Copies of this chain bind each other. A is one copy, B any other.
Amino acid sequence: MRFRILRADNRSKARCGEMETSHGTVKTPVFMPVGTQATVKTLTPVQLRELGVEAIICNAYHLSLRPGEQIIKDMGGIHRFMGWDRTIVTDSGGYQVFSLRNISRTSDEGVEFSSPFTGERIFFSPERVIDIQIALGSDIMMPFDQCVPYPCERDDAKEAMLRTDRWTRRCLAALSKRESNGQALFGIVQGSVFRELRQESVERLGEMDLDGYAVGGLSVGEGRYLMNEVLGYTVEKLPWDKPRYLMGVGSPADILDAVEHGVDMFDCVLPTRNGRNGCAFTKGGKIKLFNSIYREDKRPLDDTCDCYTCRTFSRAYLRHLFFAGEILALTLVSLHNVYFFQEMMRGIREAVLAGTFVRFKEKFLEVQEKEDSK
């Protein structure tokens, strides 16, 4: 994997770059729609491509449980399996496994838990998650990390951070012994909201020559202020020449904040989940289609938007589809929301290239917040 910074902003830490994976170029800062189960919910790969999506993220944990990574491997790998020939990142499933805490047993060796489908006991280790991700054939793999809840005691956060470091070394060692077709491996910085822990995590992971660095354990309830504080002292210590990925983030405001701190990659369920719930992102703020004010509204979701949904359908029609329980509603609003995020990222990249990112951010949020508060 190659990463090239095209321009760094003078007035903030924002950067604009290009990532080359085995499946094409990804312009950064990039937002990756979530395709946990090897599908970005409700959208076809052709629709994603038309929306300009260059990378998505799938989940090794979910796919290893169902349908099983061996089936996907036998089908020719995850790209072939799901009909998506651009970049695929796979999350290891650390986050998912540690959400099952009451049914899992954790040791330095790994984590034992029950399959939610069969009840069968399953063991995840750093080596195992690398094997799964090699079988899937994603372009960028994430190591097995221990996630802590928020809030969290410093000692627990430290233990999880150190374990994540040890596990990452084992992932790297496992990867070096296996044939992987040039799959990249990132590190995941942990340490909750503790400055020294985050910085120790960065230092330790920095010793390994990983292909990129993710910040984990944020956007878990700590709020915008604390997240910015953590990003402030974490991101600047990360290797300059490697892509930086803020996992599970986020809202337009969170993304703009993080880009300002120098983050290059994002993923979040927000555009698709909100889409399925009838909530559309627009340049003028969010629209909740169940609201009766849209009953006879002839306007598109966003009259400055060029997506298929906005070019074709009124708010009144989309609202009708939601009330009639029609699946097309979920598809059309998901499609619009993914396009909204794509367009926002395009705007961010253009602004960084033009040296106007800070103004872009201010203006973007000003309009959104003014309308949201109406």
Q: Mark A67-85, 1 if CB is under 8 A from B, else 0.
A: 1000100111000011100
In the bound assembly, the distance between CA atoms of A324 and B71 in angstroms comes to 15
Question: How often does this chain occur in the complex, in copies?
Answer: 2
A323 at the interface (CB under 8 A from B): yes
- Residue pair B326, A327 in contact (C-beta under 8 Å): no
Given A46-B308, A314-B75, A314-B81 in contact, is the A67-B330 Cβ separation under 8 Å? no
A154 at the interface (CB under 8 A from B): no
A251 at the interface (CB under 8 A from B): no
A12 at the interface (CB under 8 A from B): no
Q: A44 contacts which of B76, B295, B296, B308 (Cβ < 8 Å)?
A: B308
Stretch at the interface among A25-33, A35-43, A223-231, A234-242: A35-43
Chain B residues closer than 8 Å to A332, beta-carbon distance = 44
- Residue pair A45, B75 in contact (C-beta under 8 Å): no
In the bound assembly, the distance between CA atoms of A195 and B331 in angstroms comes to 47
Q: Which of A287-306 contact B (CB under 8 A)?
A: 295-296, 298
Q: What's the nearest-Cβ distance from chain B to residue A40, in Å?
A: 8
- Residue pair B38, A317 in contact (C-beta under 8 Å): yes
In the bound assembly, the distance between CA atoms of A46 and B39 in angstroms comes to 20
A66 at the interface (CB under 8 A from B): yes
- Residue pair A39, B326 in contact (C-beta under 8 Å): yes
Q: What's the nearest-Cβ distance from chain B to residue A339, in Å?
A: 14
In the bound assembly, the distance between CA atoms of A330 and B328 in angstroms comes to 11
- Residue pair A321, B37 in contact (C-beta under 8 Å): yes
Q: What's the nearest-Cβ distance from chain B to residue A271, in Å?
A: 15
Q: A43 contacts which of B45, B76, B319, B328 (Cβ < 8 Å)?
A: B328
Chain B residue with minimal CB distance to A312? Answer: B83
The number of residues on chain A lying at the interface, defined by a beta carbon within 8 Å of a beta carbon of chain B, is 38
- Residue pair A327, B42 in contact (C-beta under 8 Å): yes
In the bound assembly, the distance between CA atoms of A44 and B329 in angstroms comes to 10
- Residue pair A42, B331 in contact (C-beta under 8 Å): yes
- Residue pair B39, A328 in contact (C-beta under 8 Å): yes
- Residue pair B331, A327 in contact (C-beta under 8 Å): yes
Q: What's the nearest-Cβ distance from chain B to residue A327, in Å?
A: 5
Chain B residues closer than 8 Å to A51, beta-carbon distance = none
- Residue pair A320, B37 in contact (C-beta under 8 Å): yes
A316 at the interface (CB under 8 A from B): yes
In the bound assembly, the distance between CA atoms of A215 and B76 in angstroms comes to 50
Q: Mark A102-141, 1 if CB is under 8 A from B, else 0.
A: 0000000000000000000000000000000000000000
- Residue pair A66, B327 in contact (C-beta under 8 Å): no
Chain B residue with minimal CB distance to A320? Answer: B67
In the bound assembly, the distance between CA atoms of A236 and B317 in angstroms comes to 42
Chain B residues closer than 8 Å to A37, beta-carbon distance = 320-321, 324, 326
Beyond contacts A39-B324, A43-B328, A75-B298: 8 other A-B pairs, Cβ-Cβ < 8 A, are A37-B324, A38-B320, A66-B323, A71-B296, A71-B316, A75-B296, A82-B317, A327-B331
Query: Could you tell me which A residues sit within 8 Å of B by CB distance?
Result: 37-39, 41-46, 66-67, 71, 74-76, 81-83, 295-296, 298, 308, 312-314, 316-317, 319-321, 323-324, 326-328, 330-332
14 of the cross-chain contacts (CB-CB < 8 Å) are: A37-B321, A37-B326, A42-B328, A44-B328, A66-B324, A67-B316, A67-B319, A67-B323, A74-B296, A74-B298, A75-B316, A81-B316, A83-B312, A327-B330
